């Protein structure tokens, strides 16, 4: 047993010769020693008696957090784990039943069905790892999730966008204009560095570790984006968007919310500027697969939600029915249809 940084680790060989080396997940030497002795005893029973060791909920959570340390949403996962731990602290992992997890989620007050489903997804992932990869339990738990309604894509019309921009302070107006011009997320804009911008080539990029999908995004800069960037030159040697000489942080959200209220715009978040960017592109006839590449969406399904905004590309296909004379009731020429309708109206007068 050794101390690495501030955390105790174990390092021992099982009776069969397999080396066990892992974090004990605690800074307390007494707790670490107890867990170390428990692990050695369990591994002996596994090797000599063929028993499956009993792991606790707490041990499963520690291992989950260790293995998911690079996950972008790890802090959200930790919050969910803390909630479940109120119910399952010290419990043997294999003794926890599906209905118990469902009941714990049902006790989440004031949360939507979508949020409750996210908790169930976390629990499902943990139990699946414990069963299929760690071999700590016999089989994973599956959960009944509530059906989530399809959410409407919220985007701004051009007049709404103009009203919003008119209400924003100069430092906020710059990032909103840049969001509408590039579709970048809030974190990518406020964290944008000059090293990610090439004004000569009119390019900007987001590194893979900054992108939600984990893949780098290269964005050709249009005139609006270029004008915004040029207006930021000389304000800071590192950060593109600043406020009073420092990097723009969470205060961006506060100023944005206040401007929305003054502009009379409701049910709108900063992230909906990304939806607005995509919606405007679709309405301008930009193909969905191009928008997917520009926006860095991992799945085409994420982009299809904007397809209904520009049905014109389907018109030439649906008009093919005009060429069919169905039982003589439909003329093969649109102008004949109009003439027939005029005659019918005249006869009724």
Catalytic positions: 185, 212, 271, 274, 297, 306
Cβ neighbours of residue 290 closer than 8 Å, sequence gap 6 or more: 281
The C-alpha atoms of residue 325 and residue 331 are separated, in whole angstroms, by 6
Residue 314: Cβ within 10 Å count: 10
Give SS3 for 69.
coil
> Do 264 and 163 meet the contact criterion of CB atoms below 8 Å apart?
yes
The C-alpha atoms of residue 57 and residue 141 are separated, in whole angstroms, by 14
> Do 126 and 61 meet the contact criterion of CB atoms below 8 Å apart?
yes
The C-alpha atoms of residue 172 and residue 179 are separated, in whole angstroms, by 11
Burial class of residue 85 (count of CB atoms within 10 Å of its CB; 0-12, 13-18, 19+): middle
DSSP codes, 11-22: EEE-TTS-EEEE
DSSP state of 30: H
């Amino acid at each position: 047993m050794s101390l690495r940084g501030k955390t105790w680790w174990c390092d021992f060989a099982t009776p069969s010769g397999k080396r066990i080396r892992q974090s004990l997940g605690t800074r307390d030497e007494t707790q670490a020693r107890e867990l170390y002795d428990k692990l050695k005893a369990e591994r002996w029973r596994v090797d000599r008696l063929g028993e499956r060791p009993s792991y606790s909920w707490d041990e499963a959570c520690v291992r989950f957090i260790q293995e998911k340390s690079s996950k972008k949403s790890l802090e959200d996962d930790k919050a969910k784990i803390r909630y479940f731990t109120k119910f399952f602290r010290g419990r043997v992992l294999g003794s926890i039943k599906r209905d118990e997890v469902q009941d714990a989620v049902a006790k989440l007050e004031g949360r939507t069905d979508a949020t409750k489903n996210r908790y169930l997804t976390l629990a499902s992932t943990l139990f699946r790892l414990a069963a299929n990869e760690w071999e700590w339990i016999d089989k994973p738990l599956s959960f009944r999730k509530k059906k989530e309604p399809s959410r409407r894509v919220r985007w701004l019309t051009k007049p709404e966008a103009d009203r919003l921009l008119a209400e924003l302070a100069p430092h906020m107006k710059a990032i909103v204009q840049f969001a509408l011009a590039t579709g970048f997320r809030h974190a990518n804009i406020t964290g944008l560095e000059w090293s990610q911008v090439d004004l000569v080539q009119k390019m900007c990029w987001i590194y893979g570790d900054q992108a939600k999908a984990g893949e780098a995004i290269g964005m050709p800069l249009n005139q609006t984006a270029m004008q915004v960037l040029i207006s930021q030159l000389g304000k800071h040697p590192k950060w593109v968007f600043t406020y009073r000489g420092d990097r723009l942080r969470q205060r961006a959200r506060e100023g944005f919310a206040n401007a929305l209220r003054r502009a009379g715009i409701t049910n709108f978040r900063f992230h909906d500027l990304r939806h607005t960017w995509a919606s405007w592109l679709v309405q301008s006839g930009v193909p969905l697969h191009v928008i997917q590449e520009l926006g860095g969406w991992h799945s085409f399904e994420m982009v299809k939600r904007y397809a209904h905004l520009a049905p014109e590309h389907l018109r030439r296909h649906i008009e093919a029915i005009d060429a069919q004379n169905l039982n003589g009731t439909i003329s093969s020429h649109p102008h004949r249809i109009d003439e027939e309708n005029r005659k019918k109206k005249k006869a009724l007068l």
